[in-house]
Amino acid sequence: MDEQDKGANGGEPYANGEDTAPAIGLISQYVKDLSFENPNAPAVYQNPAQPQIDVQFNIGSGQVGDDVHEVVLRIDVRAEADGQVAFIAELAYAGLFGIRNVPAEHIQPFLLGEAPRLIFPFARRVLADAIRDGGFPPLLLEPIDFAALYQQQALAEGQPAVTTGETGTA
């Protein structure tokens, strides 16, 4: 038996070609919920003041099947000018991820750090298009380091640091 025939289980070959290598893949991504409100149109278009924009993010995850997890990136945007609401946009953008043979301590850092990074560019485009279609300049959100945010939150909650490869320390 040569080295290629040996598995990670003590040098023995995998039984019946069993695949025990860790694997993560993006299965699908989709808009779960999208809302755009323009409550003061058309008067809001007459206001020359630049609106103040407040952006809030929330990330949730849950297991939806064997080895399948859903990650939902929620982005809420509120724009106001001179105390008047210009627009409110709310987006829940989701991705389904297949996760197999990954150690349990690495799953949550992936789901709350790396997975949102993968779907964020698509969520950003959907949100920018909705705001543009509402009659406003598109809002182009800056990239976000979700892994660093996860790490900060985990440390604040007293959780031990876990190395997750691409996402850094979480």
- In order along its 170 residues, the chain shows pLDDT tens digits of 444 444 444 445 555 656 788 899 999 999 999 999 999 999 999 988 899 999 999 999 999 999 999 999 999 999 999 889 999 999 999 999 999 999 999 999 999 999 999 999 999 999 999 999 999 999 999 988 888 888 888 788 776 554 433 333 33
In one-letter notation, the amino acid at residue 150 is Y
Residue 15 is predicted with a pLDDT of 57
Nearest in space to 96 (alpha carbons), one of 122, 70, 125: 70
Residue 168 is predicted with a pLDDT of 34
pTM: 0.79
CA distances from 86 to 60, 92, 124, 133 (A): 28, 21, 19, 14
Residue 7 is predicted with a pLDDT of 45
Nearest in space to 94 (alpha carbons), one of 28, 149, 146: 28
